Amino acid sequence: MDISDLASRLSSGRLFHAYIVTGADADTRERAGKLIAQAAVCQAEHGVPCGVCRDCVKAKKNIHPDIETVRREKDAANLTVDVMRALRARAAVLPNEAGRGVHIIAEADLMNPQAQNAMLKVLEEPPSHAVFVLLADNPQMLLETVRSRCESVVLTPEEAVLDQKITDIAAELMGAYLRMDDLGLVKAVRPMDKLTKTESFDLVTALRRDALRRSAELTGGRRERLLETLDTADGMVFANMKGNLLGGYLVSRLCNI
């Protein structure tokens, strides 16, 4: 699954006490971990994470007091038993603000055997308010007993890396759309004049990817409006529409005036 599949699974399914996130690259696994954490602290009863409640907002800004990421100490080759014991002690304490406390363990596959045993003890009897998210590049390094107690999230690698120029234009455009900044939109589409047909296709792909990634921020039908616009834009590129006309179309559809 990719991040958007995980988002829909979280919003429609129940939450588990422990997850193990594998596949893709470290950045993508961290993003998946954060999404699970946000879903766990979200106040909404259904469709978590809602993206707008106090806890979601703090989670997105990485300032939620009940979400922590545990990492190995600098220069240490492994996650040691001391780190895991400290985690266990913190996990036993009630969360400050949210209904749950989330503990993301980065590079969980680097837990040494003692650390894994400490982790196993926590997973065997997890505090009712705690959620653990183990991120792992090599899950086979983890004890079977640890793995079997976690809900598995296997991420597929991200699509082909797009050209930096394209992702920059997409980021500008998406930023302006999220801020409802019409003038920003006009500015963001300007470099589209010079795009080739392939680059224009890539731009639409990049925008669609961003739209799915940032679903939670695109509320009030704005996500659907964007995705519909991109479907039409795809057709326009296919019909050899020039970049400046395509940019004009995007502005006309996405502006708020």
| 44 or 251: CB nearest Zn ion | 44
Instruction: List the helix and strand counts (H, then E) for the chain.
Output: 11, 5
* Residue 136 is a binding residue for Zn ion (CB under 5 A): no
Q: How far apart are CA 114 and CA 85, in angstroms?
A: 10
Whether the Cβ atoms of residue 38 and residue 185 lie closer than 8 Å to each other: no
In terms of DSSP bridges, do strands 101-105 and 130-135 run parallel, antiparallel, or are they unpaired?
parallel
Note whether 134 and 108 are within 8 A (CB): yes
* Cβ at position 54, least distance to Zn ion in Å: 8
Residue showing tokens 């894994």: 116
Nearer residue to Zn ion within complex by CB, 35 or 83: 35
Nearer to Zn ion, 56 or 212 (CB): 56
* Interface stretch with Zn ion, choices 28-36, 41-49, 88-96, 123-131 (CB under 5 A): 41-49
Is residue 30 within 8 A of residue 158, CB to CB? The reply is no
Nearer to Zn ion by Cβ, of 11 and 244: the residue is 11
Single out the residue of 36, 39, 50, 226 in contact with Zn ion (rule: CB under 5 A).
50
Per-position x/- string for 91-130, each x denoting binding to Zn ion as judged by CB under 5 A, each - no binding: ----------------------------------------
The answer to the question of residue 53 lying near Zn ion (CB under 5 A) is yes
Measured from the CB atom, the residue of 7 and 173 that comes closer to Zn ion is 7
User: Cα angle at 162 between 158 and 164, to 5 degrees?
Assistant: 130
DSSP letter string over 68-80?
EEE-PPTT-SSB-
Nearest approach, Cβ of residue 87 and Zn ion (Å): 25
- Verify binding: residue 56, Zn ion, rule CB under 5 A: yes
Scanning residues 59 to 78, which ones bind Zn ion (CB under 5 A)?
Answer: none
Please report, as residue ranges, which positions from 158 to 187 form the binding site for Zn ion (by CB under 5 A).
none
Whether 247 contacts 238, CB under 8 Å:
no
Which amino acid, residue 58?
Answer: K
**Does residue 42 bind Zn ion (CB under 5 A)?**
yes
Nearer to Zn ion, 214 or 242 (CB): 214
Helix or strand (DSSP H, E) at 126: none
Residues forming the site for Zn ion (CB under 5 A): 42, 44, 49-50, 53, 56
